[in-house]
Amino acid sequence: MATQTTPFQGTKFYIGKGVEAEKSITACDITPNAKITVANSGYKKGDLLRITGLGSLDGYYPVKDIQTNDIIFADEVNWADQDRPTVFTNAKVARVTWSSNFCAIKNIEKDGDTLSEEDVTTMCSEGTETEPGDIEFGNVKLTFFWAPATAMQADLRKKFYGKETFPYLIVFKNNQGSLYGTGFIQTSTNISGEVKGKFESGVTIKQSKRDYLLPVA
């Protein structure tokens, strides 16, 4: 079997610009799939939805499938350990609107999430024993040609100084799916330039929650 690779060129990167009008959530299931019910939503596979008013389930989630009025989220969305909501008075959902593709990017570097270690050594242990602790979410570092007057780079500066938490989307080539994340700009645009060269810049996005991969199939 041939090795499957994923080219960088042709990748698409989008940043959330806002959300559409909210719609009411009338029901919710936590197993076997994370699912909400919204009448005549008009949503489709690949949309990213923002949920509010459902307590611990609030957040951004990508849509895997639509079945009549039921909206099923990506397989990586796991609500099994959460309490199933029973009151939907304030439960709302809205579809994220995206920026244009950020074509000026020349490099994307994503640090993996890490697990801390919890020391669980006891007097009966033969050595130091540890177990997984809390998750420390990683960063997404973007390097791009500096063009501060463009809409995208102006928006990045606005999001930084506004301390805004926002979603982002990376669409991979070769049917490798899409990665949906949420974060804030931890390090704003830097500038580097030299004689006979071009100004380059970059930002660092700190993930505020886990990301979700939505396969193509």
- Contact call for residues 108 and 141 (beta carbons, < 8 A): yes
- Contact call for residues 95 and 43 (beta carbons, < 8 A): yes
Per-residue pLDDT of the chain in tens (217 residues, 90 and over written 9): 667 899 999 999 999 999 999 999 999 999 999 999 999 999 999 999 999 999 999 999 999 999 999 999 999 999 999 989 999 999 999 999 999 999 999 999 999 999 988 888 888 888 898 888 889 999 999 999 999 999 999 999 999 999 999 999 999 999 999 999 999 999 999 999 999 999 999 999 999 999 999 998 6
Element of type H or E holding 168: strand 165-171
The range of the structural domain enclosing residue 90 comes to: 17-98
Residue-level length of the chain: 217
CATH number at residue 68: 2.40.30
Percentages of the chain per state (helix, strand, coil), in multiples of 5: 5, 45, 45
- On whether both 192 and 123 belong to a single domain, the answer is yes
- On whether both 120 and 89 belong to a single domain, the answer is no
Task: Please state whether the peptide bond connecting residue 32 to the residue before it is cis, i.e. omega within 30 degrees of 0.
Answer: yes
Q: Which of 203, 197, 153 is nearest to 183 (CA)?
A: 203
Structural domain count of the chain: 2
pTM recorded for the entire structure: 0.90
- On whether both 54 and 152 belong to a single domain, the answer is no
- On whether both 148 and 170 belong to a single domain, the answer is yes
